[in-house]
Structure 1
Amino acid sequence: MDIAQVQQDTQPQAAPGGKQINDFAFMVATKNGSGSQTSNSIIVQALFKMGIPVNGKNLFPSNIKGLPTWYTIRVSKDGYTARRDTTEIAIAMNEMTAAEDIQNLPAGGVCILPAEWKWGQSRDDIIYYEIPVRDTIKQFEIPSERREQVGNMVYVGVVAQMFGIPLQYLNDALMDNFGGKPKPVQMNYQIIEAAFNWSAENLTKKDPYQFEPMNLTEGKIIITGNEAAALGALYGGLSVAAWYPITPSTSVIDNVLGYQYLRRDPENGKETVAVIQAEDEIAAIGMIVGAGWAGARAMTATSGPGISLMAEFAGLAYYAEIPIVVWDITRMGPSTGLPTRTSQGDILFTYFLCHGDSRQVILLPSNPEECFEFGWKAFEFAEGYQTPVFVLSDLDIGMNNWMAEPFQYPDQPINRGKVLDKIALEDFFAEKGEWGRYKDYDGDGVPYRTLPGTDHPRAAYFTRGTGHNEYAVYSERSDDWLHNMDRLHRKIETVRQNLPAPVIDRDAHKTIGIVSFGSNDPAVQEARDRLSADGIETNDL
C-alpha cells in the first residue's frame, strides 16, 4: 500500500475543545532488554524529521533484562530539551508498573495499554486507548525470538496514527536505524503499518494532543553525548584508547570503535587508532599513561568507581607531567551506588585526585556540542600543559538522545605543545646551553619535553614519580620539592587562564542568581525563561 495514501486516509480527527500541538511529553513503560529502545528511537527520529524539537530520556535499571524501564519523549515547540515537569501520555507496556504509571498521569492525560490485559479503567479523569499487541503480531511470521522486540512497533504505529506522525517519516527512521537493511526494516515496518491501520479503523480520538510539522530542526542533529565525545576525540588525533567497560561510559569507546574507520590511513587502509580492553580500570589508565609518555594522544573512559581506582596513576601522570585524557561519565555513588542514574558527585574528588598536593584539570560539558568540542580540546590542553585532563560528563548527557547544533571544527592545526625534536633540541641547547626536563624556562610553569626515540644524545631523561629536581635527577631536598610544587601550581594557573571560560549572564540589577554546570543547563535555561515570564529576572553562571 502507498504510504502517503495510507496517511491521507487515516488522519486523526481533532478532539473537542481544540488541540495541544507539539508541546507535551509521553512516557513509554516497558521492561529492560525488551527492545523498546529501538522503537522509542524510531519515534524520536521521526519527530525530528518532521522538524519538531524533540529529545528522549531513558530511565533504566542496572540489569540486563526484565526489570522496569521508562523512556520519556518530549516535544517542545519552543525548542526546550530538558525533562518536562508533566507527562501527558503514558504508553503502559509493563503490567508490573502500569498501575503506578497510570496514577502518575495528570487529569486529562492519555493511557495506551495492551487490550489483552483486560484491565478495568481505574480512573475516570483520563483517556484510555486499548491496543491489540498480541493479535497484531500474530498476523505476521515473526521469529519467536524477535516477537517481543518487534511487538513494540505496535505502539509506534498507534502513536503515529493517533497523534499525527506520517508513515514515511517512520519508514525513513527505520532505514536510518537499520542502516538501510531491507529485512529488519520490512519486519518492523509491517507491524507499524498494521497497527496504524487498526488504530484508524477502531480508535476514536478523544484527546487534544497532536504532532504537526514544523521547521525547527533543519541543520541540527540528534546525538548522544558519548557519541559526540568519541567523534571529538577521533577528530582531535586520538591514537590509543584503553578502557574497562562500566556504565554509563561504555558507549564512549563503543563509538570510538564504531567510527575509527574515519581515521584509517588513506594510503594503506590500516587503522591508526589502537583500542585496548584492559583487565580493569587500573590497567586501563596505566596503559594510557605509558602511551602518553611515548607521545600518543591517549584516553580512557570510565565512571566514578573507575575514577576511585585510577587515583594512583592519575597522581603519577600529574607529577611526572604526562599528558592523558580521562572521560568520567558520572553516575550515582558512593561505591557501586546507582549505576544507571545520573549524578554530578565526582567533581571535588576528581579535582584533588591522588594523595598529596595536586590540582587536576577538569572540563565540564553541558551538551553534546561541548562533548565534541572538549573531545579534541582535552588533548590540546593535556599535551600543551603536560598534565592529565578530566572531562566530567554524566549519564544524562552521555546516554540520552539530544537535539544538538552541528559541531564546530577548528581551523588551527593540532598543537603538541612544548615538544623538542632533534633539531629543536639542538637549537634549544644552542640558545640556553642546557635542557632541564622539569625546568620552567618561560615563566608559565610548563617545561619542555622530548619523546622516546628522539635521535639526539641528550634527549633522554628519567621520568620520575619520585622527588626530583629541574633536571629529572632524584632528590629528597626540601628546596627541590618546594620549587617543583610551586612550578606545578604555577602551571595549573596558566592552564586555568586558557581553559574555556564559564558562561556568565549577569546584570547587577538582578538580585537572584543561579549557579550550575553540566546537564542542568537545559533545565536552568527553561526555568529562567519561565521565571522571566512571571516578571522574575535572574543571573546565571
Structure 2
Amino acid sequence: MLEQLSWKVGGQQGEGIDSTGNILATSLNRHGYFIYGYRHFSSRIKGGHTNYKIRISTKSRLANADYLDILIAFDQETIDFNSHELRENGVLIADAKFNPVAPEGKQIRFFAVPLTKIAEENGSAIMKNMVAVGATAAVLGLSPETFLSYLNDKFLRKGEQVVQNNMNALKAGFQYVIDQGIELSDLKLAPGDGVERLYLTGNDACGFGALAAGVRLMPAYPITPASEIMEYLIKKLPKVGGHVLQTEDEIAAVTMSIGASFGGSRVCTSTSGPGLALMMEGIGLAGITETPIVIFDTQRGGPSTGMPTKHEQSDMYAALWGTHGEIQKIVVAPSNAEECFYMTVDAFNWAEQYQVPTIILTDLALSMSDQTVEKFDFSRVSIDRGNLATQEQLEAVAAGQLFKRYEFTDSKISPRVFPGQKGGIHHVTGVEHTEVGRPTEDKNIRNKMMDKRLGKFDGIELPNSFSFNGDEDFDTLLIGVGSTAGLIDEAMERLQAEGQKVGHLHIKVLNPFPTESVQKFVSKAKKVVVIENNATGQLKNIMRFNGVQGEFISQVKYDGNPYIPSEIFTFVKELN
C-alpha cells in the first residue's frame, strides 16, 4: 500500500477545480492523512487553465511531489499542460465529453469517464466535480462514506437534499469505475492515523494569528495573493467586536493603521509588492514616530503588476530597505502555516516591544497552499505591549509640561502612552523632534534621535531567528527562506540517502539578522548553497550585507513556479 500519493485535477477557471481538490483534501485530512495542496490559477475571474495538485501522505510533507500518480482532466488543455508530470504507469482520468486524446510517448493508464454525463443524470452538470471525487475514491480504494462528513459541513445549510444530491453524484462516479472493472491495486492508500488536524492556508494561519494576538482592526485594500487574510478577518473580527475596513488604497490602509496603533489598538494591514511600494512613505512615518504597526506582505511575481497569481520571493530588499531615509524594521519570514500562526503573534509583541514597523513576509506558495497543521497550542500565546508608561512616570510630569514620549533611555526604547492618559500629552510629528515631540533641526538632537532609533537592535538576536536540521557534521549547507523549507528538507533527505552529509539552515528573521549564528554554520561548510525564488539572489546578498563571510553558490528560480524537490536535489548533486 502507498505511503504517499500525488493527485491533480485541472480544467478551466470557474469549473469547480478548487472545490474538487478541497473535497478530496479536506476529507482525507479528517481521516488522519497529511495533505499539501498547491493551486495554479490565472489572473482572471473566469476562464484560463487552472489546476490543484495535492500530495496525500501518512507523514508530514510540506512540498508537492515531483510527479503525478493520478491526473483528473476536465479538458484537453489539462492533458496537454500536465500529463508530462505523470509517472510511468500513472493514471489519467479524463471527462469523455471532450473526446480526450491521450498523450503520446508515455506509458500511462488512460480512462475516458463520462464525468459530465453522470453528473447530469444525477441532477446537474455542475456536480461533475463530485463524480470526479467518486472516481478517485474508487481508484484509491476509499469508501464513499469517507466524504460524507465534509459534504454535510459544506452543504447542509442549503438543505439535506443538496447534501444527498452531491453524495449521489459522488457514489455514481465511484460505482462507474467499479463497474468498468478498473482495478488498480497498486494505488491503494495505506490508512491514515485517524487524528484530525487543522487544514488551512498560510493566509488563514496569519489571520488566525492576528486574531490570537489581539488584533481588533484591519484597514486593508484587496490584492492577490494577500486578500485571503482580509477575507478571513472579515468573517472573524466582528465576532470579537473588531472590524475590517476596506480602504480606497494601500496609502490609506497604512496611515489608518498608524492612527489606530497610536490610539492604542492592535492593528494590522496586508498587501503584496505593489501595495507595499505605496505604503513606503507611511512606513517611514511609523518609523520616525516609533509607532508599532504590523504589515503582511505576501510576495508575488513582479515588478509592477508582474504575475499576480504566480510565486516569487523578490520583496526582501523592499521590505528591508524600501523606505526613504533610515529606520529600523523587524522583518520575519515564516516557512509553513504553523509558523505563520506563531510568528504572527510574535511579530505583534516585537512591534510593540521595539516600537517599530514590522513586516511579516510570506510568499504565494506559502500564503495560498493548503497544509495539514497540528492544532495550535494557545498556551504559547501571550501578549506583551512593551514599554508602556507607568502611573508613577505620568504623575512625575509637572503641570504644564509635556511627556517625554521619545525619551533617551539606555535601552533606546522610550515609554509609550495612549491618548487620554493624564500626564501623557506630547507632540507627534513626521519631522525630526525632541524628546517631547517638538520639531527641531538641532544637529545634536538629530544625531541622538537617529542613533536611538537605529540602535534598538544592537546586540539583539530575536528568538527562533532560524532553524537547522540535517547532519551536524555537514559538508554541504543548504540555506533558504520562506516556503522553500519543505522542498529543501526533501532534497536533503535524497542527498543523504546517496551518502552526502548535508545540513539545512532556514532563515526566519531577516532583520535584525542573526549574523553571528548564521556565520557559525557557514564557517563549518565546504559548500554553501542559497536557494531562493528570485533572479538576483536577494537572500544571499542580505547575508553578505549583514557581514556573513563565505563563498555562496546561488540557486535561483523566477519563472513564477515554486521549486520541486528534484530541482534542488539535482542542482546540489551536480556540484560534486
Q: TM-score, normalised by structure 1?
A: 0.88
Summarize the alignment of residues 360-509 of structure 1 with structure 2, pairs less than 5 Å apart.
360-410=329-379, 413-420=382-389, 423-429=391-397, 435-441=403-409, 443-456=410-423, 459-493=424-458, 496-505=460-469, 509=473
Distance 2:3 2:180 in 1: 24
**Alpha carbons of 1:174 and 1:51: their partners in 2 closer, same or farther (altered >3 Å)?**
same
**Could you report, residue by residue, the CA deviation over 1:481-518 in whole angstroms, capped at 9, with x for unpaired residues?**
11111111111336x43343311347663221011111
Summarize the alignment of residues 224-263 of structure 1 with structure 2, pairs less than 5 Å apart.
224-263=201-240
Summarize the alignment of residues 128-143 of structure 1 with structure 2, pairs less than 5 Å apart.
128-142=110-124
2:173 aligns with 195
Aligned AA (1:192): L
Distance 1:103 1:251 in 2: 31
Distance 1:87 1:35 in 2: 20
For the residue of structure 1 that corresponds to 2:457, the secondary structure is helix
How far is 1:135 from its partner? 1.8
How far is 1:374 from its partner? 2.1
**Could you report, residue by residue, the CA deviation over 1:116-144 in whole angstroms, capped at 9, with x for unpaired residues?**
333344446211111112321221333xx
Distance 1:100 1:236 in 2: 43
**Alpha carbons of 1:472 and 1:499: their partners in 2 closer, same or farther (altered >3 Å)?**
farther
Aligned AA (2:11): T
For the residue of structure 2 that corresponds to 1:108, the secondary structure is strand
Give the stretch that moved more between structures: 278-287 or 183-192. Answer: 183-192
How far is 1:434 from its partner? 8.6
**Could you report, residue by residue, the CA deviation over 1:381-430 in whole angstroms, capped at 9, with x for unpaired residues?**
11122111110011111112101122122467522212226x24335559
The answer to whether structure 1 residue 533 and structure 2 residue 533 are counterparts is no
Distance 2:156 2:465 in 1: 39
Give the stretch that moved more between structures: 182-191 or 56-65. Answer: 182-191
Aligned AA (1:231): F
**Contact kept? 1:30, 1:68, Cα under 8 Å:** yes
Aligned AA (2:294): V
**Contact kept? 1:164, 1:212, Cα under 8 Å:** no
Distance 2:436 2:60 in 1: 56
Distance 1:129 1:507 in 2: 45
Match of 2:186 among 198, 201, 208: 208
For the residue of structure 2 that corresponds to 1:106, the secondary structure is strand
**Could you report, residue by residue, the CA deviation over 1:304-333 in whole angstroms, capped at 9, with x for unpaired residues?**
111010000000001111111100111111
For the residue of structure 2 that corresponds to 1:354, the secondary structure is coil
**Contact kept? 1:316, 1:465, Cα under 8 Å:** yes
For the residue of structure 2 that corresponds to 1:493, the secondary structure is coil
1:4 aligns with none
**Contact kept? 1:366, 1:520, Cα under 8 Å:** yes
Match of 2:47 among 63, 66, 72: 66
**Alpha carbons of 1:122 and 1:486: their partners in 2 closer, same or farther (altered >3 Å)?**
closer
**Contact kept? 2:312, 2:364, Cα under 8 Å:** yes
**Contact kept? 2:140, 2:188, Cα under 8 Å:** yes
**Alpha carbons of 1:502 and 1:74: their partners in 2 closer, same or farther (altered >3 Å)?**
same
Summarize the alignment of residues 285-364 of structure 1 with structure 2, pairs less than 5 Å apart.
285-364=254-333
**Contact kept? 2:296, 2:359, Cα under 8 Å:** yes
**Contact kept? 1:53, 1:403, Cα under 8 Å:** yes
Give the stretch that moved more between structures: 166-175 or 113-122. Answer: 113-122
For the residue of structure 2 that corresponds to 1:362, the secondary structure is strand
How far is 1:105 from its partner? 2.4
**Contact kept? 1:234, 1:260, Cα under 8 Å:** yes
Aligned AA (1:141): G
Percent identity between the two aligned chains: 30
**Could you report, residue by residue, the CA deviation over 1:191-250 in whole angstroms, capped at 9, with x for unpaired residues?**
1011111111124225722223121x6253211111111111111110210000001111
Distance 1:412 1:231 in 2: 12
**Contact kept? 2:11, 2:77, Cα under 8 Å:** no
**Contact kept? 1:42, 1:177, Cα under 8 Å:** no
2:549 aligns with none
For the residue of structure 1 that corresponds to 2:310, the secondary structure is strand
**Alpha carbons of 1:167 and 1:385: their partners in 2 closer, same or farther (altered >3 Å)?**
same
Unaligned runs of 5+ in 2: 506-576
1:5 aligns with none
How far is 1:166 from its partner? 1.6
Aligned AA (2:473): H
How far is 1:527 from its partner? 1.4
Unaligned runs of 5+ in 1: 1-19, 264-270
**Alpha carbons of 1:367 and 1:418: their partners in 2 closer, same or farther (altered >3 Å)?**
same
**Contact kept? 2:75, 2:98, Cα under 8 Å:** no
For the residue of structure 1 that corresponds to 2:309, the secondary structure is strand
Distance 1:398 1:522 in 2: 14
How far is 1:70 from its partner? 1.2
**Contact kept? 1:467, 1:476, Cα under 8 Å:** yes
Distance 2:392 2:247 in 1: 36
CA RMSD of aligned residues (A): 2.1
Match of 1:113 among 94, 101, 104: 94
Summarize the alignment of residues 162-181 of structure 1 with structure 2, pairs less than 5 Å apart.
162-178=139-155, 181=158
Distance 1:116 1:412 in 2: 52
For the residue of structure 1 that corresponds to 2:43, the secondary structure is coil
**Alpha carbons of 1:239 and 1:340: their partners in 2 closer, same or farther (altered >3 Å)?**
same
For the residue of structure 2 that corresponds to 1:539, the secondary structure is strand
Question: What count of residue pairs does the alignment treat as equivalent?
Answer: 501
**Contact kept? 1:22, 1:210, Cα under 8 Å:** no
Distance 1:52 1:132 in 2: 29
Aligned AA (1:448): P
**Could you report, residue by residue, the CA deviation over 1:354-385 in whole angstroms, capped at 9, with x for unpaired residues?**
11112321111111111111222222111122
How far is 1:79 from its partner? 2.8
